Amino acid sequence: MFYILSLISGVLISISIALNGRLAGEHGLHFSSVIVHITGLVVIAIVLLIKREMPFAKGRPFLYHFGGAFGVIIVLFNNLAFGRISVSAILALILLGQSAAGLAFDQFGLMGMKKYPFNKRKIVGLILIICGIIVMIDQFDFVAMLLSVLAGASTVISRTLNAKLSNLSSVRTSTFYNYLVGLAFALVVFLLFGGGEAIHVDRTLSTDLYIYLGGILGVCFILINTLLVPKISAFYLTLLLFVGQVFAGIAIDAIIDQAFSLPIIIGGVLVGAGLCADLLLERWKQGNH
């Protein structure tokens, strides 16, 4: 059940990215990020009101409220890498950063998370996953590649902080702070880097209202993700999200642009094969105990 939810979350990411891309085309890259955070914040605030839940309380670690800040950092790093290396390379390097951070969190139980020690039997699956990543990297730019890897690692930190806050409050409160803090950081980024957009940005509401749904899908994704983090390995969660995201992205590209990216397809298949190998070996190990 948790694995299926992880795949669904990956699909939500791809749809949200497509919608947010359209939104950026209408309102500018940085201003659209502000809109997404406002939309998400309004939606989760309404949910809290319906549930009569107060998100403000004392005694929680200050750092746990900053999952949304890392979300903005992820977008900023990806935007800086975009254009210097290909999209497929960015996806692959994000996966590399997420996988490395996920393995570290699993191995050492970082930030108080449950430990999932690495088993040598998983080496076959890991090799397939690494091959999938390599296939998707078709350009070399050290700074852009480093930013993409850091964006991937930041994703693991962001969802872990959200999960830790959720444990001390609720999934809804954690999601509320993700968007509240994220909005504050998105505004700062807009003021620092969006000066050129401010003149040309379209402030009128688009007639294609569906492009504003990215923030709502983001709320759904964060709610599901926050529930999943304590339940399954950070490494497996990363891979399942990636598989759902890649194949949903392939479907979206086929529908919108009638195009396929062969490196992404091959990389996605290899990562999926590696994931299946890992899961099968884990089940086999459990069956022998």
Low-confidence ranges of the chain (pLDDT < 50): none
pLDDT, tens digit, for every residue of 57-76?
A: 888 898 999 999 998 888 77
What's the pLDDT at 46?
Answer: 94
Cβ contact 116:235 at 8 Å: yes
What's the pLDDT at 236?
Answer: 80
Distances (CA, A) of 191 to 20, 72, 79, 198: 19, 14, 16, 9
What's the pLDDT at 261?
Answer: 74
Q: For residue 96, give the nearest of 145, 162, 158 by alpha carbon.
A: 145
Distance CA 136, CA 265 (A): 9
What's the pLDDT at 237?
Answer: 84
Q: Range of 145's domain?
A: 2-287
Which DSSP state fits 115? P
What's the pLDDT at 42?
Answer: 94
Q: For residue 129, give the nearest of 104, 100, 108, 150 by alpha carbon.
A: 100
What's the pLDDT at 181?
Answer: 95
What's the pLDDT at 26?
Answer: 80
| Number of domains the chain contains | 1
Distances (CA, A) of 16 to 2, 26, 219: 21, 15, 10
pTM: predicted TM-score of the whole model, two decimal places: 0.81
Amino acid code (one letter) for 205: L
Distance CA 219, CA 206 (A): 21
Q: For residue 119, give the nearest of 281, 241, 232 by alpha carbon.
A: 281
Q: For residue 193, give the nearest of 29, 70, 27, 20 by alpha carbon.
A: 29
What's the pLDDT at 283?
Answer: 65
Task: Tokens for 125, please give them.
Answer: 């699956």
Cβ contact 39:274 at 8 Å: no
The number of helices, as runs of H, and strands, as runs of E, in the chain is 11, 0
CB atoms within 10 A of CB 280: 12
